[in-house]
Structure 1
Amino acid sequence: MIIGKIAEKEIDGAIQLAAPITLCGETRTCFYTIPIEYADLLDTSRSDSFLLSLVTAAMLAGEDIQVEGKVSERLFYQLCDTIIPVMNVFNPRYRIISLKAEELSSKRHVSAQQRGIGTGLSGGIDSFTCIWNHFIKPPSDEHKVTHFFFFNVGAHGMAHSDADLKKIEDKFRARYQQMKITANELGLPLIPVNSNVHSFFQVGHLENCSFVSPGAALLMQRGIGRYYLASDGQTFHDKYHRLANLREQWDVAMIDPLTVPYMSTENMRFEPTETHLSRIQKTMLVADFEVARRHLNVCSNYDAMEYNCSCCEKCLRTLTTLEIIGKIDSFAKVFDLDVYRKQARKHYFAKVIARQNKELYYHGIMAAAKERGFDLREHTTFPALLWEHFKDSALHNALRKIPGLRPVVQKLKRL
Structure 2
Amino acid sequence: MELKASVSVDDTYRSTAELVIDGESFTVWTESDVAVDVTGTPWLPTLRVTAMRKGLQLAITPAVDNTALEGSLAAQDVLLDWFPEMLQRTSTQAETAAPSPLEQDRRGVGCFFSGGVDSFYTALKHLDEITHLIIIHGLDISLDNHVLWEEAVDRARTMATELGKELIEVRSNVRLLHAKHGPHWQSQAHGAFLAHVSLLLSPHLRKVYIPASDDESRLAPLGTHPDLDPLWSSSDVEIVHDGIEADRVAKLARIKESAVAMNHLRVCWWNLASKYNCGRCEKCLRTMIGLHIVGASGQCTSLPREIPSRAVRRMYLNAAGEGGELFARENLERLAELGEADTELVRSLSYAVNRNKFQEFLVTARFYVIDVGFGLVRYQARKLFGSNRPAKTTAL
Both structures adopt the same fold (TM-score exceeding 0.5): yes
- What's the TM-score once normalised by structure 1's chain length? 0.77
Is 2:43 the partner of 1:50? yes
Deviation at 1:386, TM superposition (A): 8.5
Q: How does 1:84-233 map to 2 (within 5 A)?
A: 84-135=76-127, 138=128, 144-157=129-142, 165=143, 167-168=144-145, 171-202=148-179, 205-207=185-187, 208-232=189-213
Deviation at 1:391, TM superposition (A): 6.1
| Residue pair 2:113, 2:133 contacting (<8 A) in 1 also | yes
Q: Find 2:268's aligned residue among 292, 296, 299.
A: 299
Q: Find 2:13's aligned residue among 3, 12, 15.
A: 15
Is 2:84 the partner of 1:83? no
CA distance in 2, matches of 1:59, 1:132: 36
What is residue 314 of structure 1 aligned with on the other side? 283
Is 2:254 the partner of 1:285? yes
**Deviation string for 1:200-234 (max 9, x for gaps)?**
113654232211112112111122101111111x2
| Residue pair 1:56, 1:94 contacting (<8 A) in 2 also | no
Deviation at 1:356, TM superposition (A): 10
Deviation at 1:31, TM superposition (A): 1.0
Deviation at 1:176, TM superposition (A): 1.3
Shift in CA distance, 360/89, structure 1 to aligned 2, threshold 3 Å: farther
Task: Give, as a single letter, the amino acid of the residue that structure 2 aligns with 1:212.
Answer: F
**Deviation string for 1:340-367 (max 9, x for gaps)?**
425413345x969xx9999542343233
CA distance in 1, matches of 2:327, 2:296: 19
Q: Aligned with 2:328: secondary structure?
A: helix
CA distance in 2, matches of 1:386, 1:149: 36
Deviation at 1:318, TM superposition (A): 0.3
Task: Give, as a single letter, the amino acid of the residue that structure 2 aligns with 1:53.
Answer: T
| Residue pair 1:54, 1:212 contacting (<8 A) in 2 also | no
Task: Give, as a single letter, the amino acid of the residue that structure 1 aligns with 2:259.
Answer: E
**Deviation string for 1:236-263 (max 9, x for gaps)?**
2432xxx4xxxxx5x423xx11011111
| Residue pair 2:133, 2:165 contacting (<8 A) in 1 also | yes
What is residue 246 of structure 1 aligned with on the other side? none
What is residue 327 of structure 1 aligned with on the other side? 296
RMSD of equivalent CA atoms: 3.1
Task: Give, as a single letter, the amino acid of the residue that structure 2 aligns with 1:25.
Answer: G
What is residue 369 of structure 1 aligned with on the other side? 335
Q: Aligned with 2:311: secondary structure?
A: helix
Shift in CA distance, 33/306, structure 1 to aligned 2, threshold 3 Å: farther
Task: Give, as a single letter, the amino acid of the residue that structure 2 aligns with 1:282.
Answer: K
Q: Aligned with 1:222: secondary structure?
A: coil
What is residue 223 of structure 2 aligned with on the other side? 252
Task: Give, as a single letter, the amino acid of the residue that structure 2 aligns with 1:388.
Answer: R
**Deviation string for 1:28-86 (max 9, x for gaps)?**
11111122xx22xx221x21222212322222222221112211111111222x21121
Shift in CA distance, 358/300, structure 1 to aligned 2, threshold 3 Å: closer
CA distance in 2, matches of 1:4, 1:23: 9
Task: Give, as a single letter, the amino acid of the residue that structure 2 aligns with 1:236.
Answer: E
Task: Give, as a single letter, the amino acid of the residue that structure 2 aligns with 1:264.
Answer: S
**Deviation string for 1:113-160 (max 9, x for gaps)?**
33110111210001110111111xx4xxxxx11111111343114xxx
Would you say how many aligned residue pairs link Structure 1 and Structure 2? 359
Q: Aligned with 2:266: secondary structure?
A: coil
Q: Which has the higher helix share?
A: 1
| Residue pair 1:280, 1:368 contacting (<8 A) in 2 also | no
Task: Give, as a single letter, the amino acid of the residue that structure 2 aligns with 1:336.
Answer: P
Q: Which runs of 5+ in 1 are unaligned?
A: 139-143, 158-164, 244-248, 401-405, 408-415
**Deviation string for 1:267-325 (max 9, x for gaps)?**
00011111111111101111121110111001101223541101112111101111222
Q: Find 1:31's aligned residue among 29, 32, 54.
A: 29
What is residue 5 of structure 2 aligned with on the other side? 4
CA distance in 2, matches of 1:110, 1:384: 57
What is residue 238 of structure 1 aligned with on the other side? 218
Q: Find 2:313's aligned residue among 325, 329, 346.
A: 346
Q: Aligned with 1:88: secondary structure?
A: helix
CA distance in 1, matches of 2:124, 2:350: 41
Q: Aligned with 1:261: secondary structure?
A: helix
Task: Give, as a single letter, the amino acid of the residue that structure 2 aligns with 1:20.
Answer: E
Q: Aligned with 1:226: secondary structure?
A: strand
CA distance in 2, matches of 1:102, 1:29: 19
- What's the TM-score once normalised by structure 2's chain length? 0.81
Identity of paired residues, percent? Answer: 20
